Amino acid sequence: MTDGTNLNVRAVRERLDQDEAAALAASAGGRWGYSAGDSVGAWTLYDDHWNIATLTTYRHNGYDYATRMPAFRDPHYVDADANGAHIARHDPGRALADVAALRAVLTIWEREDAGRHRDAESEARAWLMDEVVAALAGQGDR
């Protein structure tokens, strides 16, 4: 294991800890849902007990938003339906499942690294795991 790989593993573990804490704090790590509104209205993000957020947007429907609101000059304005569906899909429950899966990848990597032999097959596996960990570390905060 190189110093660079150690730093990558540490960076990934720190980010996973942060993701886990954020997911647990958000609706106790539960599942979210989404319901669409209509026209000028609200689109609602919710969990089992609470309304989490309201997403609002304006539909064109004959009103000239492009001249009154510069943000609407692009015909591909913010789509509350797409945003709400995406946010609900990446709810705290999914984030926690992703954290568990990525921690399992790191555990596999550590097991492979600890049992590294100097034959070609184990070196190839170790190289692949190093690349996976480097890729995970490169994701960073977005």
pLDDT digits (tens, 9 = 90+) for 12-54: 999 999 999 999 888 776 788 887 765 444 678 888 877 888 7
Same domain, 98 and 62: no
pLDDT at 14: 93
Residue 71 has pLDDT above 70, yes or no: no
Residue 98 has pLDDT above 70, yes or no: yes
Same domain, 37 and 83: yes
Q: How many domains does the chain have?
A: 2
- For residue 117, the Cα-to-chain-centroid distance in whole angstroms is 35
Of the candidates 63, 55, 62, 52, the one whose C-alpha atom is nearest the C-alpha of residue 38 is: 55
Same domain, 82 and 42: yes
Same domain, 76 and 42: yes
pLDDT at 40: 46
pLDDT band at 97 (very low <50, low <70, confident <90, very high): very high
Structural domain range at position 115: 1-30+91-142
pLDDT band at 74 (very low <50, low <70, confident <90, very high): low
Owner of token pair 């997403």: 55
